[in-house]
Amino acid sequence: MSNYPDVRLRRLRRTPSLRRMFDAPMPGPGKFIWPVFVVEGKRQRQKIAAMPGQYRCSVDTLLKELRPVAKSGIGGILIFGLVENSQKDGAGSAAHDDRGAVQQAVRAVHREYPDLVIFTDVCLCAYTTHGHCGPLTADGDVDNDSANEMLAKTAVSHAAAGADGVAPSAMMDGQVRAIRSALSSDGFHQTLLMSYSTKFASSMYGPFREAEQSAPQKGDRRGYQASYGNARLALRESALDEAEGADILMVKPSLFYLDIIARLRESTDLPLAVYNVSGEYSMLIAAADRGWGVLRDMVRESSMALVRAGTDLLISYW
C-alpha cells in the first residue's frame, strides 16, 4: 500500500552525496583478480584480437605489465600458460613441467611482487594435442581418473613454484579431492584451493579459447562442464567441491548466472569468486565501440550486479 505523498523515495537519491551515502560501495581493486596469459620466450607481447587490451606475455614482459596493476592495489592474478604445439601430447604432460611458463612466471612474480596473491589455473586443455581437459579413452571420452592424476601433479608443481593458490578448472569428478590429497602429501598444507566449482558449458568462452589456443579439436566439453539447463546439478558441483576440501568456490561465467551466484551464496559460508569471462568482457567492448553504451558505466554496473548477487572476489579482465 502506497504512503505517498508522505513517503517519497526520491528523497534518498536526490543528490550525488545522498546516493553515495546510501548506495553500496563499488568493490575496490583488492577484490579483483586479473587473469594473465604467459608464453615462453623473451620480450613477447602478443595481441589477442578477440580481447582488446589483453595480451599473451613472456615472463619478463608480464613483470612490466604488472607494475601499474600491482600499484593499484589489485588483490591478485590468475596465471594461464601456453606451450608450442610441439610440446603438447595426449595427456597434457607439459602442464606439470617445472620449467614451464606458468611455473617460471610464479617464481618471477613472487620475487618481484611479494604482496600480490598468485593463483594458477590448473587444467590440461592448453597442453593436450586434442584440446580436451584430460587424456582420452579409446572411445574419445575424457578419462576422468587419469585426468585427476595429471591435474594433481600440475597443482603440486605450481605450489612448489610458490603459488598462493591453485584453481582447477577441468570439471572432473573428484578433482578437488585428488588435488587436496596431493598437496597435503607433498607438504603444501597452506596452499589455497580455489575450485571452478560450477563452471558451465557456455557460449561465452570463444575469445578465451583464441587467447589460450585451447579449443577442442573434436567434439565439445558438454560431457564434463555443467549444463546451463540444470541448476540443481550445477549447484551440487559446488557442494561436492566444498566437501572435498575447496577453500574458495567459483561460478563461471558470471553475468548470465546471477541466480546461481545468489543461490550458492545462500548455501555456503566459503568465499565465493566469479569469473567475468572473455565473452562478457569483449561483448561490452563491442557494444561500446558501436556507440550502444558507455564502457566505463557498463563495467561498473555489471560489476556491482555481481557483488549484489553475493560475490566476494571478481576474476575480471577489467
Nearest Cα neighbor of 35 from 244, 252, 309, 190 is 252
Instruction: Judge contact between 285 and 295, C-beta under 8 A.
Output: yes
In the chain, alpha helices (H): 16-22, 59-71, 101-112, 144-161, 175-185, 206-212, 231-244, 258-267, 278-289, 295-309
Strand partners, 142: 136
Cell of 178: 585428488
Residue 296: Cβ-neighbour burial (10 angstroms; 0-12, 13-18, 19+): exposed
The catalytic residues are: 199, 252
> From CA 270, how far away is CA 171, in angstroms rounded?
19
> From CA 214, how far away is CA 237, in angstroms rounded?
23
Instruction: Judge contact between 38 and 80, C-beta under 8 A.
Output: yes
CA torsion through residues 259, 203, 166, 46, sign:
negative
> From CA 238, how far away is CA 150, in angstroms rounded?
21
